[in-house]
Amino acid sequence: LPSPQAVESLGLTAKGDVGIAYRLLQLALIFIFTLRNANRIPDGPGAAWGISEHYIIPAIMQLKKVHDEAMHARLRRAFPVAPSFRDKSLRIAVVSICAYPPGHPLVLPKVTPQNREMYANRHDYALRVHLEHPVIGAHGLGLQHAKLATVLSYLQSGDFDWVAWFDCDSIIMNMDRTLDSIIYQYAQRQDASSNPAEVLADASVPVCGDGNQFDLSGEWLDSWVPGDAQEEASIILRHSPSGKVSAAAHQFGAVSGQMDGDELELNFPESGPLRGRIHAPRGHGAPSDGSGVRLEWDNGAVWMRRASAAPRPCREPCRTPADGCAVELDPAVDLLITEEGWGLSSANWIIRRSAWSLN
């Protein structure tokens, strides 16, 4: 990245190289703009890079579109893994540092350890929460760097195959989603010898338990409308296999939106986008015809299906290693990390013990 021209040329990068270019730009952004806990590098040393964030950020935004398309396509080709998937052979540790001084106004030192303990006990993970400034490998570094040394120390111990880091202010909300399911879903090896047409055709079939398994097409009733007027104000939904959804009702006219997993977002002209979540009966005894499905919206409204529809064919996800599903981990994937906006976030990440991570 020696010049603005080099960054601009990345806009013409072949799709196969976009992932590498995208990550390099994100790393460059960290070094020249947000080094050490968002402290900006002084103009003098920063100028030695020969480039600034004014060139890097637009390039990142340009590459992000292509990169995201490639990532979504890869996920569609991946074998589905159930959120509750657990591989007992994986040794996983949950690590956090909550080293706030006594009397600090934040309640995180009281809330976060309990949150971590509930999650780790639920899935039989090892738990390492530091309530004091850790000395494990920190070597006098600031707290924002000490977490790297702390995680490295646990990797070097040889006691764990994967270490999951969570910042103290990252609260685990979904206690049912396992780290194993995230690892196997996003770090799985994909068979390059498979027929692309067959893979894409199979990927178009929704995953069992996903909101797209149910065809939402039909008549729905709005809980905000009084009972004696609900039929007159019923909502007609049209749901295409691609996930596009249109809704029409007397009270709001015609709107459209898109399914994303088990969430639906509709764009209302007057109030803007509104997101709702599908709730469907599951487990033993749940009806197979899609009845009992409801949509719960962020504004408090609830839509209830009046007429049921048959579920679409779906792909069964891998629920346990005993299922015999052909899911293997890719040895080339050592790190799973979250994104915030167009940058990488060090708040939550999962790292594998490997030659790369140990060095």
**Sign for the pseudo-dihedral over CA of 349, 353, 354, 355:** positive
In a domain, 321, yes or no: no
Judged against a pLDDT cut of 50, whether residue 36 lies above it is answered with: no
In a domain, 33, yes or no: yes
| Rounded Cα gap, residues 246 and 275, in angstroms | 14
Chain-centre distance for alpha carbon 14 = 26
In a domain, 84, yes or no: no
130: domain CATH number is: 3.90.550.10
Q: Are 72 and 96 found together in one domain?
A: no
In a domain, 65, yes or no: yes
What is the per-residue pLDDT across 158-184, written as a single tens digit (0 to 9) for each? 999 999 999 999 999 999 999 999 999
So what's the pLDDT on residue 17? 66
CA angle centred on 111, ends 106 and 115, rounded to 5°: 145
Q: Are 285 and 240 found together in one domain?
A: yes
Instruction: Give the residue with greater pLDDT, 203 vs 200.
Output: 203
| Rounded Cα gap, residues 4 and 15, in angstroms | 21
Q: Are 224 and 177 found together in one domain?
A: no
- Structure tokens that stand for 55 in this block: 């060139």
Q: Are 9 and 36 found together in one domain?
A: yes
So what's the pLDDT on residue 12? 45
Q: Of 76, 101, 117, which residue is a domain's last? A: 76
Instruction: Give the residue with greater pLDDT, 214 vs 34.
Output: 214
255: domain CATH number is: 2.40.128
In a domain, 316, yes or no: no
Q: Of 29, 49, 76, which residue is a domain's last? A: 76
How many structural domains does the chain have? 3
Q: Are 140 and 69 found together in one domain?
A: no
- Structure tokens that stand for 331 in this block: 């040895």
Instruction: Give exposure, 298-336, as e/b (b: 16+ Cβ within 10 Å).
Output: eeeeebebeebbebbebeebbbebeeebebebeeeebeb
Q: Are 179 and 117 found together in one domain?
A: yes
User: What interhelical angle do 53-77 and 196-203 show, nearest 10?
Assistant: 90
In a domain, 209, yes or no: no
Q: Of 52, 76, 100, which residue is a domain's last? A: 76
Q: Are 116 and 162 found together in one domain?
A: yes
Judged against a pLDDT cut of 60, whether residue 194 lies above it is answered with: no
Ramachandran category for residue 338: left, alpha or beta (phi over 0 → left; psi -120 to 50 → alpha): beta
In a domain, 166, yes or no: yes
Judged against a pLDDT cut of 50, whether residue 216 lies above it is answered with: yes
Give the neighbor-by-neighbor strand order of the sheet with 162-166.
126-130, 92-97, 162-166, 343-352, 335-340
Judged against a pLDDT cut of 60, whether residue 125 lies above it is answered with: yes
Q: Are 98 and 56 found together in one domain?
A: no
So what's the pLDDT on residue 221? 87
Range of the domain at 22: 4-76
In a domain, 27, yes or no: yes
So what's the pLDDT on residue 78? 87
Percent of the chain with pLDDT strictly greater than 90: 35
Average pLDDT over residues 95-104: 89
| Nearest one of 204, 263, 245, 239 to 72, comparing CA atoms | 204
So what's the pLDDT on residue 4? 45
Distances (CA, A) of 276 to 248, 260, 264: 16, 10, 5
With cut-offs at 50, 70 and 90, classify the pLDDT of residue 5. Answer: very low
So what's the pLDDT on residue 60? 84
So what's the pLDDT on residue 169? 92
What is the per-residue pLDDT across 237-286, written as a single tens digit (0 to 9) for each? 998 877 789 999 988 899 999 887 778 999 998 888 999 998 876 544 44
pTM assigned to the model: 0.68
So what's the pLDDT on residue 135? 65
Instruction: Give the residue with greater pLDDT, 43 vs 40.
Output: 43
So what's the pLDDT on residue 136? 67
So what's the pLDDT on residue 55? 78
- Bridging pattern class, strands 302-305 and 294-297: antiparallel
What is the per-residue pLDDT across 288-319, written as a single tens digit (0 to 9) for each? 445 578 899 999 999 988 765 555 677 788 98
With cut-offs at 50, 70 and 90, classify the pLDDT of residue 6. Answer: very low
